[in-house]
């Protein structure tokens, strides 16, 4: 038994320790290098992700500039291939995933009433190894023979027999990215399982927390498989093994099986947190509780479960037997059921709600509509017999950009605008934010919608040149691309303005918003919920 005085002493001592900590808190660059604060690390992740988004976007501009006209005019084909490859790698591992991890760092402790992430030092590590991974990857572009040019999917034997000498750098950078996301995922799971406020039961968790918990499990399940497959590529190329080399008894098709066993759950890693974000924003601006909370949780879990048994739908044209094609086709289509549950729940949440259209809501609504378009083209691709026509065409490019740009990235923008007042303490400039939204919305559709038609007409993906009949549509697509790229600079303007000043934000700037993060002042103090809050 501890007496009251002792307790008070301990509390006082702890208070002193925190104060002391504040005193010796490093300033300047060291503050950011050494920080273990979840808000600092969240900010670092978000800034890093946006920087990488611009770098990967610049590469997309090179691609679209080259494709503006048929023929080869700006870059040579090998460099073009490096651009498509590194654009994909950067957007997947450098932009979307770190952005979600940044949001998780910032918001999950505040949403569950925890003082910080459970493993703050590991948190610092998992961020600070990322810049090195991408420095290595980007550095490989300047090596003799060029960087990776085999597509972000690095199929063997393109990545083994036919790849440039810098492939080892690609492999090591993917290893580091993998270690970073595994550490991030472990941190998220431990935080959610162990650090919830005492009254925060599982079915009271905000959906962003739920979707991230499930995403984190997907991450620790498949990132090690990615690490394994890149290691096999490394040893096949440099150490004479024959995992994927038929001459030595291996099988290049096996690469695709292992890769997509990672790759399909990976695409849900990039969309499940979006579902959580949209499930927070739509109720806030429709001023109604989320329709079908429990079904949202179960739908997320079933999507995650199904993601492990659909990988071969990326490989319909590899000569699979009929039974395999049918199995993977039906399983893939089955995913539309829980996804449909989600879409209908969002629509039902809005039904007869008192809706207003602030910028986070605009992005969330665009997400629902445009992600659904991406979902439908996904269903079309799931149909095995027609996939033989769509495979490796611009139809596939259109599909995954609808789910990743207007899906994942739009939801990240929605989240950024929704929580920006909480992060900066200032309201953002609504005019420029709306400009950002409308310019992005129009240009993104000019950019990606015509790609469906290019694909159906037979234009293959990942080529620097194309047949003349595709010239007009490619010009439109490229113009949309440049406009979309430029529109993203507006986001920089909005965020920098909000960080510097502006109208003071209230603790709860959005009338209908729910959740613990709105009970702390804006900007959120450096330390929040040092004592667990009460939960309704």
Partner 1 sequence: MNTPTDRQTQHQQANKKLVGRLVLIVAAMFGFGFAMVPLYDVFCDITGLNGKTNSEAVSTVAVDADLSRQVRVQFVTHNAKGVAWPFQSSLPSIKVHPGVMTQVEFVVENPTNRPVIAQAIPSVSPGLGAQYLRKLECFCFNQQPLAPGERKVMPMQFYIAPDMPNDIGTLTLAYTLYDISNRGDQPANAQTAAP
Q: At what angle do helices 272-286 and 207-238 cross, to 10 degrees?
A: 160
d(CA 438, CA 359): 10
356 catalytically annotated: no
In the range 294-333, which residues lie near partner 1 by CB under 8 A? Answer: 319-321, 324
45 catalytically annotated: no
Q: What are phi and psi of 504, to 5 degrees?
A: -60, 135
526 catalytically annotated: no
d(CA 375, CA 402): 8
Strands (E), 356-485: none
116 catalytically annotated: yes
- CB neighbour list of residue 428: distance below 8 Å, 6 or more residues apart: 359, 417, 420, 421, 494, 495, 497, 498, 502
In the range 160-219, which residues lie near partner 1 by CB under 8 A? Answer: 161, 182, 186, 189-190, 193-195
Q: Which of 38, 39, 64, 264 is catalytic?
A: 264
**28 vs 240 by CB, closer to partner 1:** 240
Nearest distance in Å: CB 15, partner 1:
10
Q: Which of 43, 126, 164, 279 is catalytic?
A: 279
Q: Is 118 one of the binding residues for partner 1 (CB under 8 A)?
A: yes
- Rounded to 10 degrees, the C-alpha dihedral 357/359/364/369 comes to 70
Q: For partner 1, which residue of 34, 175, 251, 502 counts as binding (CB under 8 A)?
A: 251
Burial (CB < 10 A; 0-12, 13-18, 19+), residue 174, is: buried
Nearest distance in Å: CB 194, partner 1:
5
Q: For partner 1, which residue of 222, 290, 296, 404 counts as binding (CB under 8 A)?
A: 222
Q: Is 258 one of the binding residues for partner 1 (CB under 8 A)?
A: yes
**202 vs 351 by CB, closer to partner 1:** 202
**255 vs 400 by CB, closer to partner 1:** 255
Nearest distance in Å: CB 224, partner 1:
4
Q: Is 433 one of the binding residues for partner 1 (CB under 8 A)?
A: no
Q: Which of 335, 338, 332, 365 is nearest to 350 (CA)?
A: 365
- CB neighbour list of residue 198: distance below 8 Å, 6 or more residues apart: 532, 535
Structure tokens at 114: 């925890």
d(CA 216, CA 465): 40
Read off the DSSP letter of residue 506: P
162 catalytically annotated: no
- CB neighbour list of residue 96: distance below 8 Å, 6 or more residues apart: 49, 270, 404, 408, 409, 412
Q: For partner 1, which residue of 249, 431, 468, 500 counts as binding (CB under 8 A)?
A: 249
Nearest distance in Å: CB 203, partner 1:
20
462 catalytically annotated: no
Nearest distance in Å: CB 76, partner 1:
22
Q: Which residues bind partner 1 (CB under 8 A)?
A: 1-2, 6-7, 10-11, 14, 118-119, 161, 182, 186, 189-190, 193-195, 220-229, 232, 240-243, 246-251, 253-254, 257-258, 261-262, 319-321, 324
Just list the catalytic residues: 87, 116, 152, 180-181, 264, 266, 268, 279, 313-314, 339, 342, 461
């Amino acid at each position: 038994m501890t007496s009251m005085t002792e307790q008070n002493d301990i509390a006082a001592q702890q208070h002193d320790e925190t104060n002391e900590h504040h005193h010796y808190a490093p300033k300047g660059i060291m503050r950011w290098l050494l920080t273990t604060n979840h808000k600092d690390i969240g900010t670092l992740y978000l800034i890093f992700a946006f920087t990488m988004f611009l770098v990967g976007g610049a590469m997309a501009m090179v691609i679209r500039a080259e494709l503006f006209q048929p023929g080869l005019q700006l870059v040579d084909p090998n460099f073009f291939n490096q651009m498509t490859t590194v654009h994909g790698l950067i957007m997947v591992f450098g932009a979307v995933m770190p952005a979600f991890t940044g949001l998780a760092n910032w918001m999950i402790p505040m949403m569950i009433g925890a003082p910080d992430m459970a493993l703050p030092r590991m948190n610092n590590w998992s961020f600070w190894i990322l810049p090195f991974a991408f420095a290595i990857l980007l550095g490989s572009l300047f090596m003799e023979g060029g960087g990776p040019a085999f597509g972000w999917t690095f199929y063997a034997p393109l990545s083994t027999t036919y790849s440039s000498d810098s492939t080892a750098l690609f492999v090591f950078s993917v290893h580091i990215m993998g270690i970073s996301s595994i550490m991030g995922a472990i941190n998220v799971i431990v935080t959610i399982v162990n650090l919830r406020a005492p009254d925060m039961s599982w079915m009271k968790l905000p959906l962003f927390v739920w979707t991230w918990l499930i995403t984190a499990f997907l991450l620790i399940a498949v990132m090690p498989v990615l690490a394994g497959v890149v290691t096999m590529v490394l040893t096949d190329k440099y150490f004479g093994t024959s995992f994927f080399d038929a001459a030595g008894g291996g099988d290049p098709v096996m690469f695709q099986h292992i890769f997509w066993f990672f790759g399909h759950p990976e695409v849900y890693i990039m969309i499940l947190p979006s579902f959580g974000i949209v499930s927070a924003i739509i109720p806030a601006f429709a001023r109604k509780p989320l329709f079908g909370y429990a079904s949202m949780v179960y739908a997320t879990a079933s999507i995650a479960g199904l993601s492990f048994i659909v990988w071969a739908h990326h490989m319909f044209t590899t000569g699979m037997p009929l039974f395999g094609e049918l199995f993977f086709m039906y399983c893939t289509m089955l995913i539309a059921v829980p996804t449909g549950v989600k879409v209908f729940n969002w629509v039902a949440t809005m039904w007869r709600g008192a809706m207003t259209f602030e910028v986070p809501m605009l992005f969330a609504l665009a997400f629902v509509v445009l992600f659904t378009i991406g979902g439908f083209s996904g269903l079309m691709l799931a149909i095995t017999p027609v996939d033989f026509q769509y495979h490796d065409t611009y139809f596939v490019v259109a599909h995954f950009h609808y789910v990743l740009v207007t899906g994942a990235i739009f939801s990240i923008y929605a989240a950024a605008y929704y929580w920006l007042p909480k992060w900066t303490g200032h309201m953002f400039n609504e005019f420029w934010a709306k400009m950002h939204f409308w310019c992005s919305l129009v240009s993104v559709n000019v950019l990606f919608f015509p790609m469906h038609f290019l694909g159906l007409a037979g234009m293959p993906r990942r080529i620097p040149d194309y047949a003349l009949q595709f010239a007009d549509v490619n010009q439109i697509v490229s113009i949309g691309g440049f406009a979309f790229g430029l529109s993203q600079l507006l986001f920089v303007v909005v965020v920098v303005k909000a960080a510097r000043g502006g109208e003071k934000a209230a603790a709860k700037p959005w009338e209908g918003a729910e959740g613990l993060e709105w009970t702390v002042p804006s900007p959120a103090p450096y330390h929040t919920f040092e004592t667990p809050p009460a939960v309704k």
